[in-house]
Amino acid sequence: MSEPILVRYRLLGCPDEATALKKGESVAVGMTVGSWTDLPAAEQEAMRPYKGSAVASGMEAGGDAWVEVAYPAGNFPARLPALLTCVFGKLSLDARVQLADVTLPPTFAAGFPGPQFGIRGVRERAGISGRPLLMSIFKSGLGMSLEDFAQAFAEQADGGVDLIKDDEIVFDTRAFERIRAVAPIVEARARSGRPLIYAVNLGGPVEELTTRARCLVEAGAGALLLNVAAYGFDSLHSLAAAKLGVPLLAHPAVAGAITGIDRHLILGKFMRWCGADLVLFPGAYGSLAIPQSDAEAIKAALVSASKLHRRSWPVPSAGIHPGMVARLQADFGNDYVVNAGGAIHGHPLGVQGGVVAFRQAIARVSGGMELAGADEPELKAALEKWGIAE
């Protein structure tokens, strides 16, 4: 018999381990064979290979209980919609039950594509080693003329970012025109030995995403951005399985509306399994701060060792400014992406000044220097405006 899929549930208000184990057994039966004790012996024997079972229980530090259920891996295919439906589908309607973790056996996990490039592959494409990558968020893309778009793109590129990504709300039909408009800038950076990756927002009907993605890549997109929770994890899976030849960025838009599932699953494991090379998520500081423990769990899910799936880039986001770089690097090491929008476009010395300020902050921290007392004009101006995160 193959190894089972292990699913941990958090049982809110459950008083003790014994009650949790009993609840877990009820869940295990209800989510697989439906009933058990009322079945004749012959039917039980026939259904046994498909039956889940509660295998462990305990109490969390916060006072809630947990129970772990083992599900036969053969009950469903290696696609996230099937997995989630079979282990949390109707349970998700019970506010007292939360999905706390999912552990896949290697044979089942191999059915998920994982990132095509991962941390090492994206580093190779960007030509960067030994430091975090720097990505700027293209703000105010809506309604801009192609000339203005190219000019704003050039300002970010000239400042020295490694990646530029579309805003996730840009769903107009001019993606191909934007790629052509900035192609000379991208090509000039490539000739200089400092590649620049332009991540284009992928939109359109779900059934057309892969075809459209291929067309965007052929047109020159250096990466693709997908609003994964809005389009569905299976859309990401299909794009990754198509091996499009460019990195896939996963945006967390709409993910906050998914309740009852721990963040390290939604923004960590599921994204990595389904093929995201870079995963944006709210950091533990910034404008949409999440608990530090959640951010650490997401990071661990994205970068933990795996013989099957490459590591995904953690991209802590929302309200990131140069004064946070020291803390970011302390939390994430070198393998993360500094993702900035407002602190670049709203820098007192302009867009290029905003990019340079981040580069200076990264260089200082990577070189073992403190941000406090920085005398570089761009970084100094940024720290005076936004301060230094503790």
Q: How far apart are the first and last CA of the chain?
A: 51
- Which amino acid makes up residue 83? L
- Spell out the residues 6+ positions from residue 367 whose beta carbon is closer than 8 angstroms to its own: none
Whose tokens are 């300002």? That residue is 155
- Spell out the residues 6+ positions from residue 173 whose beta carbon is closer than 8 angstroms to its own: none
385 given a catalytic annotation: no
What is the spatial distance between Cα 369 and Cα 125, in angstroms, rounded to a whole number?
Answer: 28
What is the spatial distance between Cα 124 and Cα 133, in angstroms, rounded to a whole number?
Answer: 12
DSSP conformational letter for 38: T
Q: Are 271 and 235 in contact, with CB atoms under 8 Å apart?
A: no
What is the spatial distance between Cα 77 and Cα 84, in angstroms, rounded to a whole number?
Answer: 11
Q: DSSP string of 354-376?
A: HHHHHHHHHHHHHTT--STT---
Q: In what order do the strands lie in the sheet with 5-11?
A: 53-59, 65-71, 5-11, 97-103
Count other C-beta atoms under 10 Å from residue 348's C-beta. Answer: 14
User: What is the number of alpha carbons within 13 Å of residue 196 lying toward its C-beta?
Assistant: 26
Catalytic residue among 90, 165, 307, 385: 90
Q: Are 183 and 153 in contact, with CB atoms under 8 Å apart?
A: no
Indicate which residues carry an active-site annotation: 90
